[in-house]
Structure 1
Amino acid sequence: MNIKQLVNKLLKISGDVTSIEKALVYSFADKIAVDTNKSQWLKNYLSDIDYSIVDKVNQITESKLTLNELIAIFEMLVPQSEKKEKGVVYTPEIITKYIVSHTLNCNNIPTVLDPSCGCGAFLVTAAEYIHERYSISYSDIISSYLYGVDIDSNAIDRIKSLLSLIVLMNGEEEKCSFNFICSDTLDKKTYDKLQKMHKNGFDCVVGNPPYVRNKNMSEDTKRHLTNWVSSSIGNVDLYIPFFEIGINLLSDNGRLGYISPNSYLQGVNGRSLRKYFAAEQHQLEIIDFRDSQVFENVTSYTCITLIDKSVKTDAIKYFRLNESNTLEKHTFSEYHFTDFPDGKPWRMRESSIDEVIHKLESSGTPLSNWKIRNGLATLKNDIYFFAPIKEDNTYYYREYDGKTYKIEKKLCIKVAKPNIIKNEAELEKKMEIAIFPYTHTDNAYQLIDEELFKSSFPEAYNFLTEYKSILLNRDKGHGNYPAWYAYGRTQGMNNFGKKLLIPYISGSPVAVMSLDPDVLFYCGYALLSEDIEELKILKVFLESEAFWYYIFHTSKPYSKGYMAFAKNYIVNFTIPELSEEEKTYLLESHTSEELNEFVWGKYHCKQMIV
């Protein structure tokens, strides 16, 4: 059964997701001949059920669903806006089973906490595992051993429904009480409540912490981040402090198992967490999916982290999973916290790779010696930047929101978007225009006075005025701009000059020559130099196999084989010293094979392929 197609059909039944969920629970119970009236929870939950929706659900779900299919449907029914805000991501059964089996294998019946339980995939798997291993009733497991927290009351209702169904499916009388808290796990008050539930700590903490970028968090959530050592500095993502919270809530002999983004391994915003792990010295086992799409529906930049609080060690056990091995059949490599002092990125690789990386970082002048700059940041690019549909001597013409507008040319500059440009031909073809309400004064850019803007550039002013409310809502309405029409940030305004354009992320090495000094850029970086020959030589190195090898093994992976080219990932790559004869050679026309052979030779490495 295609769950995604089924969910799309279900969403057409009603705009009320809760009514659909109740109908699904009723239909599920009916098809397996379970009487929901025998569960006080289900009886109350389904008291206002809409039977017309039940009939439609029955038509769509003709065959019986499994419990895990029901969990998957619940997760997918969560509205997209809510998923983004709360970081809801479905965890496949193969992942929950692996984490549960490697975390709950205790001598005694373990108490289990999921601090972001969502629809309950981990707690359902934990209940099944405990029931099978320790032969106790589901009612007792739910009442005495399972605990969960979620900020969404609907999520709590879903997990209570699922656990109640398990009890009835196994012929038990429902005499269980639930141990769930509807609250923000980051809030210290929630933490205090959980500590009181188990003063000696929980035996196991499992889960899939919420995947929310810092820029998408509410102000309340950001304030709660400061409660925790691992998230008190920088713009950390929401999942980061859940490691610290989970470890703190464990008993002295407890174990933690999460699936989470792997960005904490090397990312700047994971530095405080890495320092926290190093200070705590608990045993870590990491299975990194890196950029491999190993499991269906699992995003490609995740990892499994298993922590044993009872083992004090400097060792980090690490394994990178790919298509040639499996979760159950792998061998860990061992690294040490002392290998990465002061929260430095955890670059865990084979020794043969480390040798090559060392040569690439120590064979000349690091890129940090050149000017590498970030691009423009308006915080509303689609309003300021555009591709003209036509132009005349005075105006550019653009389409926006189904309307056509004209914009004064004298207010505009050319801008490039490195993220979508692969070569110099594409640079010209994909060049855009920017509304640029600034003047150059004393080597700096100053915002045009509003009255002058209005009188000198009325068309552009009227266009921006039409979308003033949108511009005022940048930074969630809390932006402190010199005027409502100003760019969201001042970065990137002085990046005029000759340059190499470098994307934020790419699936191959790209460095595009931009020799028009009046062109600025956004969504990318630029290496600036007024020496055209220097730029041409740098381009050879930055588009080489050697540079891609370096990026692939040191940078942050994204889906579909893309890698981050952020400044902090490239500045340690070195450019070897070149003789005049070698410079002349690189400035001549050669095949990519010849250039790659030359570049690898300058690092005293044989040619390596990613």
Structure 2
Amino acid sequence: MPNNSENEIKKLGKVYTPPYIIARILDDSGYKGNNVLQKHVVDNSAGDGEFLLEFIRRYKKAFFKGKDKNNIQIQKEFALEIETYVHGIEINPDSIVIIKDRIKKMFINEFYFEIVPEIDIKQNDTLFEKSLDEKMDYVFGNPPYVRRKNLSDDDAYIAKENNMSGMVDLYLLFFIKGKKMLKPNGVLGYITPNSYFYTQSGERLRQIILTETTLLEIIDMGHNNPFKNADTYTAITIFKNTPMGKKIKLKYSDDFDKKSEKISISQEDIEKLTKYFYFSNDNNDNFLDIVTYENEDNSEEIKVKNGAASNADWFFYFDDAKGVYTQRAYKASTAKFTRAYFPYDDNGDVVKLNDIKEYNHDFFEKLKIDRPNLENRSLQKRNWYEFARSQGIKDFVDTKVFTLAINNLIKDKNDLKMKILPKKTVVYSGFYIQNKSKTFLNNIMKLLQTDDFSEYVKKLGKHKSGGYYTYSSVDVARFINYKLREGKNE
């Protein structure tokens, strides 16, 4: 089987699927037994052909039940049905050669058949292949995972046409295309990144799944990533191409090795699910209320902000940074103090390069040496010698407020790193909250240092390696403001 090279993963989104994953998808989608006979099935991102091989094996098992496998005429009939009902699409012509060779070897060396079918594999970009639209009983696959910055202009256009916003990944477009390929009541089963559960770019897909299909099963793989060389976390999604009824009834599991449990979701929760895919039978579970919380009366609320963004931490943060235009700094992810080169005045406005030259010779000389690397950063209309983004700059010169720093990666509440900092401290690699009252910030710390918050983070499902979970400043703000509002209403 071909290996997943870094180049293939990055540019083409190729990650080949382990056989046990394929078996689970096909079983749970109903592609088994006599259900496979004379049913059109396609892998629309064929890759190494592993899905196609399993289609054929299952078709053979059902087709030859009670028949003579050695009969040449029956073998011809079988080959004809494979040519008619089993389909593939693959953009890479080299992969198609490999797939056809694997199928030939399977028929000769595994089946001991004399007749080898000419498998229907179309060499094309799946998103532009129309010949199979509305003709498939089953659509399966492991769509390519390519981030928006690597999408072609054509793919970006398709995303726009489907009202997808944000950082659209290619696999999202494969969901749309896969649904288009299905007959009414046809079934789609994919393994993809689980990021569509919660991202802005996935919102349109969530709406389509909830309103235009019947969601049959979700298996969130969580930290159990079956793809060794891919830095992503996955889920199996299975749906039928028919609108669901008044109530969502599906099977759900947050662990591949656990049996899926039956979940019922009321109509009133569908709108919340378009904002965030989360499934539970616990009537006391208020996760969806928190994650979809909005400040409807425009009252003043706590703001959780992202730390300073230099895009060159290796340069700006330096324990021995001294003199004018330096400042105390705190790395929230490690809970450690350091110093920062900070080319801003007491109002948070950037100073002139000549001022740095005049008042801090060491800082200026370091800038001269590293100028090429600093100029090569992503900068938002900023001078080459300052931070890459404006976020937080004016906050970190404010002498009237205290700052609570928060890290953004935990396993449980014991991993939460929070500290109320001295005034005029630059926070980076994490989040911060500012307030004039230390007592208030201490109360926020108590609110976050709870099982409630750590369980909320786990339910967000933003997995990281080593069993960790990450979360955004918006996630933290929603939790805090929901809990504060809840406390007021009690």
Whether 2:53 is the aligned partner of 1:124: answer yes
Aligned to 2:85: 145
Q: Secondary structure at the match of 1:334?
A: strand
Q: 1:395-427 CA distances to partner (integer Å, 9 max, x unpaired)?
A: x4xxxxxxxxxxx643333332322x3xxxxx3
| Cα 1:198/1:330, change in 2 over 3 Å | closer
Q: How far off is 1:134 after superposition?
A: 2.9
Q: 1:87 to 1:167 in 2, by over 3 A?
A: same
Residue 63 of structure 1: aligned partner: none
Q: Partner of 2:391 in structure 1?
A: 491
Residue among 197, 205, 230 paired with 1:265: 197
Change (3 A) 1:556 1:411: same
Aligned 8 A contact 2:88 2:120 in 1: no
1:166 aligns with 2:166: no
**8 Å CA contact 2:143, 2:192 repeated in 1:** yes
Partner secondary structure for residue 179 of structure 1: strand
- Residue identity over aligned pairs, in percent, reads 23
What secondary structure is seen at the aligned counterpart in 1 of 2:138? strand
Partner residue, 1:500: 404
Task: Pick the aligned partner of 1:202 from 136, 140, 153.
Answer: 136
Q: Which residue of 2 aligns with 1:590?
A: none
Within 2, Cα distance between the matches of 1:110 and 1:368? 58
Q: Within 5 Å, which residues of 2 pair with 1:83-94? A: 83-94=9-20
Measure how far apart 1:371 and its partner are: 2.4
Residues 196-230 of structure 1: CA deviation (Å, up to 9, x unaligned): x235432221111223344x525637724534426
The 5 Å alignment of 1:381-420 reads 381-386=313-318, 388=319, 391=320, 396=321, 409-419=323-333
Distance in 2, Cα, partners of 1:318 & 1:306: 10
Report the counterpart of residue 40 of structure 2 in structure 1.
111
User: For 2:178, what is the secondary structure of its paired residue?
Assistant: helix
- Residues 603 and 304 (structure 1), Cα distance of their counterparts in 2 relative to 1, 3 Å cut: farther
Name the structure 1 match of 2:451.
545
User: CA 1:166 to 1:464, structure 2 compared with 1: closer, same or farther past 3 Å?
Assistant: farther
The answer to whether the Cα contact below 8 Å between 2:304 and 2:476 also exists between their aligned partners in 1 is no
CA apart distance, 1:175: 5.5
State how far apart, in whole Å, the 2-side matches of 1:182 and 1:361 are. Answer: 40
Q: Is the 8 A contact 1:101 1:129 kept in 2?
A: no
Q: TM-score, normalised by structure 2?
A: 0.80
Helix, strand or coil: the match of 2:324? helix
Which moves more between the two structures, 219-228 or 532-541? 219-228
Question: CA 1:461 to 1:145, structure 2 compared with 1: closer, same or farther past 3 Å?
Answer: farther
Task: Tell me if structure 2 keeps the 8 A contact 1:112–1:145.
Answer: yes
Aligned equivalent of 1:339, options 244, 269, 281 = 269
Aligned residues: 460
Work out the CA distance in 1 between the residues paired with 2:79 and 2:314.
55
| 1:467 shift after superposition | 4.8
Gaps of 5+ in 2: 65-74
Q: Are 1:446 and 2:379 an aligned pair?
A: no
RMSD of aligned C-alpha atoms?
A: 3.8
Q: 1:531 Cα deviation (Å)?
A: 1.0
Q: Distance in 1 between matches of 2:239 and 2:287?
A: 31
Alignment of 1:455-474 (within 5 A): 459-461=362-364, 463-464=366-367, 466-474=369-377
Deviations 1:352-393 (A, max 9, x none): 44169879999xx9998212111122334334334x4xx3xx
Pick one of 152, 168, 176 that aligns with 1:244.
Answer: 176
Is the Cα–Cα contact under 8 Å of residues 403 and 432 in structure 2 kept in the other structure?
yes
Which moves more between the two structures, 150-159 or 201-210? Answer: 150-159
CA distance in structure 2 between the aligned counterparts of 1:367 and 1:432, rounded to whole angstroms: 37
Return the alpha-carbon distance in structure 2 between the equivalents of residues 91 and 302 of structure 1. 12
Cα distance in structure 1, aligned partners of 2:326 and 2:82: 64
The structure-2 alpha-carbon separation of the partners of 1:296 and 1:554, relative to structure 1 and needing over 3 Å to count, comes to closer
Q: Is 1:289–1:300's contact at 8 Å kept on the other side of the alignment? A: no
Equivalent residue for 1:522?
428
Aligned AA (2:204): S
Shift of 1:93: 1.0
TM-aligned CA deviation for residue 542 of structure 1: 0.9
1:292-331 maps to which residues of 2 (within 5 A)? 293=224, 301-310=233-242, 312-314=244-246, 315-322=248-255, 326=258, 329-331=259-261
Instruction: Rate the CA distance shift 1:299–1:335 in 2: closer, same or farther, 3 A.
Output: farther
Query: Structure 2 counterpart of 1:490, which letter?
Result: S
CA 1:107–1:218 in structure 2 vs 1: closer, same or farther (change >3 Å)? Answer: closer
The 3 A distance-change label for structure 1 pair 344 and 249 is same
Per-residue deviation at 1:292? 5.1
**Counterpart-to-counterpart distance in 1, 2:284 and 2:298:** 19
Structure 1: tracts of 5 or more residues without a match: 1-70, 397-407, 422-426, 579-598, 605-610
Retained in 2: the 8 A contact 1:291–1:557?
A: yes
Q: Which shifted more, 456-465 or 410-419?
A: 456-465
Give, in whole Å, the separation in 1 of the partners of 2:447 and 2:282: 24
- Report the CA distance between 1:513 and its aligned residue: 1.5
In structure 1, the partner of 2:71 is: none
Cα distance change on mapping 1:357 and 1:226 into 2, 3 Å:
closer
Equivalent in the alignment of 1:284: 215
Matched AA of 2:195: S
Name 2:162's counterpart in structure 1. Answer: 229
Shift of 1:317: 1.3
In 1, the alpha carbon distance for the partners of 2:371 and 2:100 equals: 46
Contact 2:133 2:182 in 1 (8 A): no
- Equivalent residue for 1:97, pick from 10, 14, 23: 23
Match of 2:72 in 1: none
Note the C-alpha offset of 1:320. Answer: 1.9
Please say if residues 502 and 565 of structure 1, whose CA atoms lie closer than 8 Å, have aligned partners that are also in contact: no
